[in-house]
Amino acid sequence: MPKPVVLSGERMVLSTPVEADIDRIAELCADPAIARWTTVPAPYRRQHAVGFVTSVVPDGWASGRVCTWAIRTGGVLVGMVSIGDIHQHRGEIGFWLAPEARGLGVMSEAVRVVIDYGFAADGLGLRRMVWRALAGNAASAAVARRAGFHWDGVMPGGAEQRGQRFDEWRATLLPDDPRAPAGDWPDVTYVQAAL
């Protein structure tokens, strides 16, 4: 089982969220865009952040199934990135970002750092990484595309969010794929659907 590890990029540190982060997580997860595009509870309350920090994150690391990092810039928590559903040398990347940090390349950098760790022999040793998002989430698609993920397609009804089924976009990255924007994404993935 992997032990929690601190990763860093040029502009950020990625570390396990701690109890001191609970109020900030609760504040950020109340953002309508995070609620719209992720599976966080909505409305998001402080108790959800407590459970996330004290149970979900440590249990994920302990089981080896989910590795979660808080993204910190200048010491301030601005988002989360994780590799989840880890089994048989495969994992799924997921992420969300604070409104004030969007459009600055923060998430693209965090995702690159986590991908490197995920594929590294002294990291998770993955052989395949997948990205999934609710259809219409062009912001998430842009991050995955820049990281080199290759478009797999649309899975009708492939996503579940709060008891409802939605179409899902999917993409895949392999260890030897170039970490450069993949050119095989359809035009629809470049236009953000309305909240």
130 burial via Cβ count (<10 Å: 0-12, 13-18, 19+): buried
Domains present along the chain, CATH in parentheses: 7-190 (3.40.630.30)
Beta strands in 116-163 (DSSP E): 128-134, 150-161
Query: Do 155 and 165 contact (CB within 8 A), yes or no?
Result: no
pLDDT of residue 194: 64
* Lateral strand order in the sheet of 76-87: 7-8, 13-15, 67-73, 76-87, 90-97, 128-134, 164-173, 150-161
pLDDT of residue 134: 95
69-78 pLDDT, tens digit per residue, is: 999 999 999 9
pLDDT of residue 195: 55
pLDDT of residue 182: 87
Collect the ranges in the chain with pLDDT lower than 70: 1, 194-195
